[in-house]
Amino acid sequence: MPGGFIRREPTDSSKLRENHEVVELFTRVHWIAFCDKLQGYDDEVAEEFLQALRVKSKTEATVNFRGLSLTLTPRYISQITELPMGLPWEKDERKLSQQAKKEFFPPGEEFSEDKNGVRRTSLLPPWDEVSLQILRYITCEGRFSIIYGYQFQLLTELRHHSDLPVEKRLSIPYFLLQSLMECATKLKEGIPDQVAHHGVIKLLVEDTLHSYKVPLAWEAFRNLTKDGDIKMLTEERSSSSSEDKEPVAKKRKETGQKTTPSVQKKEKKQKQIKKDAEERIETPIYTARERRLQVRAEQAEKPHLSISTSSVLATKSQAKVHTEKQAKVATPVATGKQKRVSTGSPKTIKERVSTGSPKVPKTGASTGSHQRKKQRRKRLIFWKGRQQLCWPPSARQPSHEKRGRGRPLYISKQGGASE
């Protein structure tokens, strides 16, 4: 037991419900729901709760322990316990207590007094049992044999003013907050046997645990060590909840259960992201130069499908000239001697006439009509990623002396300008 705890508070309302008169009275003043809510408690959690309690005013206190943060007010306690708000009152007002004590006993009714109060067993039934249940569930006094002055205020209200409206009754939430503050003060002063209201403390902590996005369990919280933190539970809970989502999705697919529009939208977005990733993997990545070379190769194979303004080949004749030019560029140019040897043509015109060999046709840019040469001169040639206007090579290219001023230089295939 922590700190010499000696009080034993009820863990349920079974004993209270054994007496029908008590149940009827507690129901009339709206206390029975609160008594039914009290289901177990933890001594260590209650003691840590009271040690962490800080008083701000008569109607406000804060508690921060194990990562939890609570702000206690009479209205907040009323919402959790389902006790009516009523009017605030002080348990230490002796005049009111003495007045309530005199009012409780009608003339001629005998009772036994003690130096601290009135003996409970001297009360007439059913008030002896009613006072016992008030001591156990409401005031949580450790001594059940003595009725104190402030408790007579509650008994008098039940006996003589049970018809009062809820707003004019004594406020039990206000009393519970004052009692918690008093217990916390005495505990810090070194009086551990004053720890009380364990069931109320459990209700307050449970409500805070359930306010999280992923609700936490009371059993998991009470098993934390004194230096434990609520963040450990939230991380474990969030990880386990993410693992549980996968079987739920599989079950929906198997049973054919419809998903919500938000879930459908999310799944559609994930499928699109996956599809884009696959397309990026399958599609080869070209550099700018590789892409240009690829386009030229496609245009050479299918010139009638090309729509590029820089390299349009409008007719079949232009396509033929284009392919001949590409072939000439690709194959090395042979010298006159090598050409004669390879083709087997005679060296001179006399030998050609005497042998009767056919005339060797002229090839390259030296052949063709005037119109073809004119079109070839206007062609745009791209070389090394730059667009330049070039004069095509020709056997009939004028020499340096005959070329007029202002004509462009011939740009060779090696990228240099030549005369």
Percentage of the chain modeled with pLDDT above 70: 61
Q: How high is the mean pLDDT of the chain?
A: 74
pLDDT at residue 375, as a whole number: 73
Peptide bond preceding 358 in cis form (omega within 30 of 0):
no
The span from the CA of 318 to the CA of 378, in Å, is 12
pLDDT in tens, 130-152: 999 999 999 987 778 889 888 99
The pLDDT-based confidence of 247 (bands split at 50, 70, 90) is low
Closest to 32 measured CA to CA, from 174, 169, 137:
137
The average pLDDT across 223-240 equals 67
Tokens of 77: 């306690």
pLDDT at residue 250, as a whole number: 55
The span from the CA of 186 to the CA of 180, in Å, is 10
- CA 115 to chain CA centroid, Å, is 63
Q: How many CB atoms lie within 10 A of CB 125?
A: 9
Closest to 25 measured CA to CA, from 126, 95, 107:
126
pLDDT at residue 34, as a whole number: 95
Radius of gyration of the chain (CA): 51
The average pLDDT across 300-318 equals 52
The pLDDT-based confidence of 319 (bands split at 50, 70, 90) is low
Residue 396, pLDDT > 60, answer no
Residue 417, pLDDT > 70, answer no
* From 52-61, 72-81, 84-93, the region with the lowest mean pLDDT: 84-93
DSSP assignment string, 298-312: HHHH-GGG---TTS-
The pLDDT-based confidence of 306 (bands split at 50, 70, 90) is very low
The residue among 308 and 36 whose pLDDT is bigger is 36
The pLDDT-based confidence of 281 (bands split at 50, 70, 90) is low
Residue 366, pLDDT > 50, answer no
Tokens of 241: 């909840």
The residue among 15 and 404 whose pLDDT is bigger is 15
Closest to 40 measured CA to CA, from 68, 12, 20, 7:
12
Report the greatest alpha carbon distance in the chain: 167
pLDDT at residue 354, as a whole number: 52
The pLDDT-based confidence of 73 (bands split at 50, 70, 90) is very high
Residue 81, pLDDT > 60, answer yes
Residue 194, pLDDT > 80, answer no
The pLDDT-based confidence of 255 (bands split at 50, 70, 90) is low
pLDDT at residue 33, as a whole number: 94
- Cβ-Cβ contacts under 8 Å for 294 (sequence gap 6 or more): 286
The span from the CA of 142 to the CA of 193, in Å, is 9
pLDDT at residue 256, as a whole number: 54
Residue 325, pLDDT > 80, answer no
pTM of the complete model: 0.56
